Amino acid sequence: MSYISMNSDLLIAGVDEAGRGPLAGSVVAAAVILDPANPVAGLADSKKLTEKKREALSIEIKASALAWSIASVTAEEVDSINILQATMKAMKQAIESLSIVPGHVQVDGNRCPDIALSVEAIVKGDAKVQAISAASILAKVERDRQMLSLHNEYPEYGFDRHKGYGTKQHMEALQQHGACPQHRKSFAPVKKLL
């Protein structure tokens, strides 16, 4: 088996989050350094993929990426520091937890977390940059898993169907049952009920 040494200065980490908009659950971020010698076919913005396709790609990304990491910030923390700060914190934790230090970081969106690395924000990066697409898939799959586990704890809200987003069904459940500990109390629809 031949060993190829990689210059980590040339490696780019893609970063994205899932769960900024929902009324419940954590915000989840992922960072991925893809292996240029081992590309993953079919990468795209996670929102454009079926759940089944995301699950399959998530397994493939974890198996073939040079490094990947996932971090979450709880609903309680979202309430205490606000959703933007919570998103930046999750992204920073995901980047800093990578087993390889990348030479450059590309983040989906228009803001960058405060990190000691070369970093740039790319609007719609999850559709333009493979590593960001990969990160968006890992973050979405992990957040969906968290919401399914919340559903087992609080089945009355239907988290398995809407994943915490403010759907009609979710709003009706909130009206009927009030908020659970995993609801974001600082988000207007929840705040109104309290």
- Provide the residue range defining the domain that includes 189: 8-193
Nearest by Cα to 31 from 51, 17, 46: 17
Q: Retrieve residue 62's tokens.
A: 């974890």
Indicate whether 2 belongs to any domain.
Answer: no
Q: Which pLDDT band, with edges at 50, 70 and 90, does 2 fall under?
A: very low
107 burial level (CB within 10 Å; 0-12, 13-18, 19+): buried
Indicate whether 3 belongs to any domain.
Answer: no
CATH number, position 50: 3.30.420.10
Indicate whether 79 belongs to any domain.
Answer: yes
* pLDDT tens sequence across 13-39: 999 999 999 999 999 999 999 999 999
0.75 cut: is pTM over it?
yes
Decide if pLDDT at 174 tops 50: yes
Decide if pLDDT at 1 tops 60: no
* pLDDT tens sequence across 101-130: 999 999 999 999 999 999 999 999 999 999
The fraction of the chain above a pLDDT of 70, given in percent, is 95
Indicate whether 1 belongs to any domain.
Answer: no
CA-based diameter of the chain, in Å? 62
62 burial level (CB within 10 Å; 0-12, 13-18, 19+): middle
Region 119-146 average pLDDT: 97
Q: Which pLDDT band, with edges at 50, 70 and 90, does 7 fall under?
A: low
Q: At what angle do helices 130-153 and 51-64 cross, to 10 degrees?
A: 120
- Count of C-beta atoms within a 10 Å radius of residue 49: 20
Q: Which pLDDT band, with edges at 50, 70 and 90, does 4 fall under?
A: very low
Number of structural domains found in the chain: 1
Q: Which pLDDT band, with edges at 50, 70 and 90, does 194 fall under?
A: confident
Indicate whether 124 belongs to any domain.
Answer: yes
